[in-house]
Structures are given as structure tokens and as C-alpha cells.
Amino acid sequence: MAKENNNTGLLHNVIAQGTRIQGSIETNSDIRLDGVLEGNLTSQGKVVIGQQGSIKGDIVCNNADIQGSVEGIVKVSDTLSLKSTATITGEIHTKILSIEPNAVFNGSCEMLRRE
């Protein structure tokens, strides 16, 4: 009898420091970026941009923790957390926004309605 593979929600992707990607990434699971992405990132889960990570492009996801830099539009359906080392240039669209002291945000922000 074949064993059924059940998704436990623990799957995640990691783009390591020193990796450069040109193009878009789409994933159904969580993703952590410590490298450089020149393109859009879409995730059905959580996006973590590490301190050395950077994106020049748009992000669409459910939740995000940003420690590195983002240049583009960030659309987070639930919670966006900007850590103290984060630098964001562009637009933010989110329900919940948490910004630590020393984080840098230049752009516009739209707070989505809570349902």
C-alpha cells in the first residue's frame, strides 16, 4: 500500500546568501531570501527577507518579516513586520504593520480592512 504524502505546512524554500536570481519566483510554501532577487516574489505562505537579502520587484504573500531591502510594491494579506535593519522603498498594502525602531520606509502605505 502506498504511503500518502500529507503536507504538514513545514515546507519552506531558502535562497542562500551569494545567490542572485533574475526572474520571478512563485511558491505555495514559505520562503526565506538571503540572496538577491531581481523580479517578483509570490508566496501562499510567509516571506522572510534576511538581513543580507534584497529584492528589486514586487512581493505578494500572506505574512512577511523583512530584515533586508525591498524596492517595489509589497502586498501582504495579513501581517508585515519591518525589522530594525529593513529598508523599504515603494508601496505597502497590508492589514497589520509592525515597524521596529531604525527600520527605514520611504513610500506610501495602505492599511487593508480587517474582516
Per-residue pLDDT of 39-49, as tens digits, reads: 999 999 999 99
> pLDDT per residue over 85-115, tens digit each?
999 999 999 999 999 999 999 999 999 876 6
CA 15 to chain centre: 12
In this prediction, residue 113 carries a pLDDT of 78
- Write out the three cell numbers for 19: 545567490
Domain spans in the chain, listed from the N-terminal domain onward: 15-98
pTM of the model: 0.87
pLDDT band at 3 (very low <50, low <70, confident <90, very high): very low
> What is the C-alpha to C-alpha distance for residues 52 and 54, in angstroms, rounded to an integer?
7
In this prediction, residue 5 carries a pLDDT of 40
In this prediction, residue 107 carries a pLDDT of 95
Sign of CA dihedral 21, 108, 79, 28: negative
In this prediction, residue 10 carries a pLDDT of 60
